[in-house]
């Protein structure tokens, strides 16, 4: 509940100012409308409220309407965000089942090199395919080379990690044999030297 409140009230400075103003308008006008008449008489506001009741009522309605729209907008944003996450998860699940050899080899590089971040060629079809299906994420650090084209840093997305096991990536269980290691080396993508250059540079 605390998280919901924090997210609703979290906004840029101008929006926060408007929200606070509307909140106080609703509180003050509501108090003037619904507080017992005896209390208004004590603070000498009974005549003012009686004379301006229509204006106070309109202010209360506007304030409450604004606050309601903000709450509704928050829950709509949350619903849209949740739907996007579900769609992205479905796309990931489908893509993991349909990985081609190059895409699978690219993902294996993260495990073979023991790196969470790899430098990869941006124009490589396998990189583009895994990026658009939310399997990997672009981290920036873009560089341009005359021969091999632009490169950037990528990592496997958090949502995709739970689907990428040894069976999916066709990695041997335990210590690989000499033959298995040779097969993994042969299956490495042609741009593996680019991803490895990040480690060497460090």
pLDDT tens column, 119-164: 898 888 999 999 999 999 999 888 877 666 788 999 999 999 999 9
Evaluate if pTM is beyond 0.75. Answer: no
For 81-147, the DSSP string reads: HHHHHHHHHHHHHHHHHT--HHHHHHHHHHHHTT-S-EEEETT-HHHHHHHHTTSEEEEEEEE--TT
Where are the domains positioned within the chain? 2-97, 101-201
Burial of residue 103 (CB within 10 Å: 0-12, 13-18, 19+) is: buried
- Separation of alpha carbons 35 and 135, rounded Å: 58
């Amino acid at each position: 509940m605390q998280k919901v409140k924090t997210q609703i009230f979290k906004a840029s400075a101008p929006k926060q100012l408007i929200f606070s103003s509307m909140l106080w308008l609703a509180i003050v006008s509501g108090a003037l409308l619904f507080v017992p008449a005896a209390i208004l008489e004590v603070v000498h506001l009974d005549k003012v409220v009686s004379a301006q009741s229509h204006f106070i009522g309109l202010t209360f309605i506007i304030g409450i309407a604004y606050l309601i729209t903000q709450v509704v907008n928050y829950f709509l944003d949350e619903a849209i965000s949740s739907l996007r996450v579900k769609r992205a998860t479905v796309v990931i699940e489908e893509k993991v089942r349909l990985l081609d050899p190059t895409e699978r080899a690219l993902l294996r590089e993260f495990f073979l090199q023991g790196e969470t971040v790899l430098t990869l060629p941006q124009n490589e079809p396998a990189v583009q395919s895994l990026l658009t299906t939310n399997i990997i994420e672009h981290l920036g650090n873009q560089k341009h080379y005359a021969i091999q084209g632009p490169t950037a840093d990528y990592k496997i997305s958090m949502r995709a990690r739970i689907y990428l096991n040894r069976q999916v990536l066709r990695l041997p269980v335990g210590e690989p044999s000499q033959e298995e290691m040779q097969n993994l080396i042969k299956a490495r993508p042609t741009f593996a030297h680019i991803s490895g250059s990040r480690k060497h540079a460090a």
